[in-house]
A and B are shown apart, each in its own frame.
Chain A
C-alpha cells in the first residue's frame, strides 16, 4: 500500500518535470509533496510527518540533486511551523495544506524576484561568462535583455552532459550573442570577460555553493583575475550542510541517483557537482535580497531556527 502511494508520488513528480521543463526540480518536488499530503491517509500528526519524510527520501532517490533535498526539508518545516493545536486531525491537515499552497506560491515567484534583483548588475556592453545550463541565470539574462542592455555571453560546454550547448540554444532564441567555449578554456577566456554569473544547486551554511562540476575551477580563475563572481539562487536551495572541502560533500549529492543505486565502486565514477568555498564568491542574489556569503548563515539561522 505504501509502495503504491510512493510510486504514484514519483510518477507525479516525473510528470511535472515532463510537462513543464522550465520548472525548478525543487518546485516540482514540492508540488508532488503537496499532492501527497492531500492524499495521505494517516491518523496522527506524527504519522503524517513520518510519511512526509519517507516521501522526501523517495524523491531524493529519484532525483539526487541538493535542491530537492533542501526544498523538501524547508517545505516540511514551513508547514509544521504553525500551531497545530486543533483537536481534529483533518483541520490540522487543512492548515498544513494551506501553508503548503502558500509556500508553493512564494517559491514559484522567487525566480522572478532573483531575476529582477540581478539584471541591474549587468552593464551595457558587458561580457558575461556562465557555466552549464541554469534556468535562473537564463531568467536574469532575459530580464537584462528586456531592459535593452547589450551584452555577450560565453557559456562553457559543461561535459559530460553538454548542458552548455542547451543553454546556448536558449540564449540564441532570445537573440543574445552567445559563444560556447570548452571547459578547459575558462582560464583563457577569463581575461576577456567582465563578470561571471552562475546558478547553484544548493547554497550551504558557510555561504559556499554546490553546483555543476567545473564551477569551482571557474571561481578560482575569476579570483585570480579579480573578476566578480556572482551566484544566483532561490532561497529554497539553502541547505543545512557545511562541507569543509570537496571530500566533505556527501556522496548522495555527488552522483546521479541511478548511478548510486547500480554502481558498487564509486571511485570509478565521476562526480557531477563540486563545492565552491565562500571566499571565492563576491555576492549571492536570492529572493531574500543581495547577500554576501557571510550573510547566508544569518539567513539560514532565521530560516531554520
Chain B
C-alpha cells in the first residue's frame, strides 16, 4: 500500500479503508459516530477537489459518487458509468454496491448537489435506450446490481443517429488519449480518430455505423503516433480493410498484438503496472472498435486480459509480470481456441457417418477443421458449400476442402431449397452464442437453418465456449454491423448500374454482416464441453462463472 504516492490514489486507499471500517461497523451493529461521519464527508469533498485538478483515474471516483445516490436515480447513474472506459466499470461494479451503503449516512446537501447535476444530465438524455452491449466488459456491472430494473441503453458507439451521443463519443475518445498517458507526459494533437459515416443508411439500421473501406481510420492519425502502438494500428487497418476476417482469426490477431504491446510496455514512474497497463489498453480498444466493431469473442478475450492484468500482485517485478502476462495469453489461445477445436472435432466426428451429405455455409475455421479431421479419420462423406454475395467466403472454404481431397459441390444461397433434399446434415459455425440460446452468425445462417428445419434436416452449430456471451437478443436489428455499401456494386459486361447510387436520394444499399438464429431451428450445439441443446447455453455460462 505504501507504494502509491499520488494524492488521489492515497485518498482512494483511505477511502477503501473507510469503507471497510464502515462495513465492519455496520456488521457489528454500531452506528457511525458523528465525528466519523464528518470525517467521511471531509474526505469526500477533498477528494472531489483533487480530482478536478488531476484527471488521473477520474472516472472511478465520479462513478462512485454518482453510484452512491440512492436507488431511484440508479438508471441515470448507470449512464455516466457507461460513458467511462470499460475498465473502471469493472472496478466500479464491485465498488458501487459498497459505495451505495454510504449515502444513507451522507449529508443532505451533498446529495442535493448531486441530484441537481443528475437531473440536468438526465434531461439531456431523455428517451434513449441502452443495451448491455458495452464491449461485453460491462456484463459484470449488469449482473450484481440487478436488484432494481435498470433502463438498459445502447452504448454510445452504436447510437449513430443521435447527435448528442456522437458528441459524447468524440469527447470520450479525446479524453482517452490524454488519460492513456498517465500523469507524466502531455503530448498534444494525437487523438483516437472518430470515423465518419458514409452514405445513406437504411432507416431500420440508422443507429449503426456504416463506414467506407476507402476512408481508413488511420488517415486521420498524425505521425508520430505515440499514443497508439504501431502493432495496434496495423491490426486496426487489417480489420477495417477485411484482411483479417473470421472471429477466431480476429481474436488470435488481437491477442498477438496485445502480446507485442505488453512486450514494449514500460511502467512509468509512480504508476503500478496492474492499473496503468489497463488504462493504456483502453484507447487501443476504442481505436480498434472504430476500425471495426468488436466481436463477442474479442470482447471476452479483452475481459480476460484485463482481469489477468489487474490480478498481477503489486510486488511483482516488471519483467516477471510481463512474462506472466505473455504466458497467460499463450495459454488462453491454446486452451480456448486450439485445444477447444480439437475437442469439438472429436465430438463432431461421432456425428458424421459414412454416406453423409454435409452442408456448410461460408467459411468457418472450426467447421473446416472438423471436416478435414473427419476426412483423415476415413469417414466417407461429401460436402455442399453454400456461398453468398458480397463476401463470397465460401470460395475459401471450398479451396481448403478440395485441397484435402474432399468431394465438394458449390452453390449460391438462392439454390438452397433445390439442394436441401439431398442433404443429411447441416454444419454451421457461429460468431457468438447469446444467453437466450440465439446463435449470432454470418448473415444468411438463419435462412439456412430455417429452410433446413422445413426439410427436417438436423442443424448442428459448432462453437467454442469462449464465444458465449451474456447478451440477449431476439432480432437482428438492435445490434449488428453494417459493412461498406459499395461492396454491393458489381460490374458486369462493362456496365456498373449502381455506380451513382448516392445521387438517388431514396436509394439505400444495405450490407449486413450478422444475423441471429432462434434456438428452435438448431438441433445441437457442439462445444468443447460436450454436446448441448441450444437452450442450455445459460447453464454453461453459469458453470463457467462458477469456475472463475
- List A residues 253-284 near B (Cβ within 8 Å): 278-279
A interface residues (Cβ-Cβ under 8 A, vs B): 205-207, 242, 244-245, 247-248, 278-279, 294, 297-298, 301, 305
Docked-complex contact B523 and A297, CB < 8 angstroms: no
Q: What is the bound-complex CA distance between A167 and B531, given in angstroms?
A: 36
- List B residues 509-548 near A (Cβ within 8 Å): 520, 523-524, 529, 531-533, 535-536, 539-540, 543
Would you call the interface of chain B mostly helix, strand, loop, or mixed? mixed
Jot down 21 A-B pairs with beta carbons below 8 A, ordered by A. A205-B532, A206-B533, A207-B533, A242-B524, A244-B351, A244-B458, A244-B460, A244-B524, A245-B456, A247-B353, A278-B533, A294-B535, A297-B532, A297-B533, A297-B539, A298-B536, A298-B539, A301-B532, A301-B539, A301-B543, A305-B529
Contact of A244 with B425 at beta-carbon distance under 8 Å, contacts A206-B524, A207-B533, A301-B536 already known:
yes
The residues of A that contact B456 with a CB separation of less than 8 Å are 245
Q: What is the bound-complex CA distance between A242 and B530, given in angstroms?
A: 10
Docked-complex contact B535 and A242, CB < 8 angstroms: no
Q: What is the bound-complex CA distance between A294 and B523, given in angstroms?
A: 12
The residues of B that contact A301 with a CB separation of less than 8 Å are 532, 536, 539-540, 543
The residues of B that contact A206 with a CB separation of less than 8 Å are 523-524, 533
The residues of B that contact A305 with a CB separation of less than 8 Å are 529, 543
Docked-complex contact A245 and B533, CB < 8 angstroms: no
The residues of A that contact B458 with a CB separation of less than 8 Å are 244-245
- List B residues 393-412 near A (Cβ within 8 Å): none
Q: What is the bound-complex CA distance between A248 and B529, given in angstroms?
A: 21
Contact with A along B264-304 (1 / 0, CB 8 A): 00000000000000000000000000000000000000000
Q: What is the bound-complex CA distance between A242 and B533, given in angstroms?
A: 9
The residues of A that contact B532 with a CB separation of less than 8 Å are 205, 297, 301
The residues of A that contact B520 with a CB separation of less than 8 Å are 279
B interface, how many residues as a size bin? 10 to 19
Q: What is the bound-complex CA distance between A294 and B436, given in angstroms?
A: 12
Q: What is the bound-complex CA distance between A248 and B524, given in angstroms?
A: 13
The residues of A that contact B523 with a CB separation of less than 8 Å are 206, 244
Distance in Å from the Cβ of B105 to the closest Cβ of chain A? 43
- List B residues 136-177 near A (Cβ within 8 Å): none
Q: Which residue of A lies closest to B437 (CB)?
A: A294
Q: What is the bound-complex CA distance between A298 and B437, given in angstroms?
A: 14
Q: Which residue of B lies closest to A277 (CB)?
A: B523
- Additional 9 contacts, C-beta under 8 A, given A297-B536, A301-B540, A305-B543: A206-B523, A242-B524, A244-B460, A244-B523, A244-B524, A279-B520, A294-B533, A297-B532, A297-B535
The residues of B that contact A245 with a CB separation of less than 8 Å are 456, 458
Docked-complex contact B531 and A205, CB < 8 angstroms: yes
Q: What is the bound-complex CA distance between A244 and B524, given in angstroms?
A: 8
6 closest A-B pairs by beta carbon, nearest first, are A294-B535, A244-B458, A297-B536, A242-B531, A206-B533, A298-B539
Q: What is the bound-complex CA distance between A244 and B526, given in angstroms?
A: 12
Taking a contact as CB atoms closer than 8 A, the residue among B351, B425, B533 that contacts A205 in the complex is: B533
Distance in Å from the Cβ of B380 to the closest Cβ of chain A? 15
The residues of B that contact A297 with a CB separation of less than 8 Å are 532-533, 535-536, 539
The residues of B that contact A298 with a CB separation of less than 8 Å are 536, 539
The residues of A that contact B536 with a CB separation of less than 8 Å are 294, 297-298, 301
Distance in Å from the Cβ of A141 to the closest Cβ of chain B? 31
Q: What is the bound-complex CA distance between A206 and B456, given in angstroms?
A: 16
Q: Which residue of B lies closest to A294 (CB)?
A: B535
Q: What is the bound-complex CA distance between A279 and B460, given in angstroms?
A: 16
Q: Which residue of A lies closest to B523 (CB)?
A: A244
Q: Which residue of A lies closest to B532 (CB)?
A: A297
Q: What is the bound-complex CA distance between A297 and B543, given in angstroms?
A: 13
Q: What is the bound-complex CA distance between A284 and B344, given in angstroms?
A: 29
Q: What is the bound-complex CA distance between A232 and B458, given in angstroms?
A: 26
- List B residues 199-240 near A (Cβ within 8 Å): none
Q: What is the bound-complex CA distance between A10 and B540, given in angstroms?
A: 40
Q: What is the bound-complex CA distance between A279 and B521, given in angstroms?
A: 11
The residues of A that contact B529 with a CB separation of less than 8 Å are 305
Distance in Å from the Cβ of A101 to the closest Cβ of chain B? 30
Q: Which residue of B lies closest to A279 (CB)?
A: B520
Q: Which residue of A lies closest to B538 (CB)?
A: A298
Distance in Å from the Cβ of A296 to the closest Cβ of chain B? 9
The residues of A that contact B524 with a CB separation of less than 8 Å are 206, 242, 244
The residues of A that contact B540 with a CB separation of less than 8 Å are 301
Distance in Å from the Cβ of B345 to the closest Cβ of chain A? 16
Q: What is the bound-complex CA distance between A285 and B243, given in angstroms?
A: 53
Q: What is the bound-complex CA distance between A207 and B531, given in angstroms?
A: 12
Distance in Å from the Cβ of A168 to the closest Cβ of chain B? 35
Distance in Å from the Cβ of B163 to the closest Cβ of chain A? 44
Distance in Å from the Cβ of B525 to the closest Cβ of chain A? 10
The residues of A that contact B533 with a CB separation of less than 8 Å are 205-207, 278, 294, 297
Q: Which residue of A lies closest to B539 (CB)?
A: A298
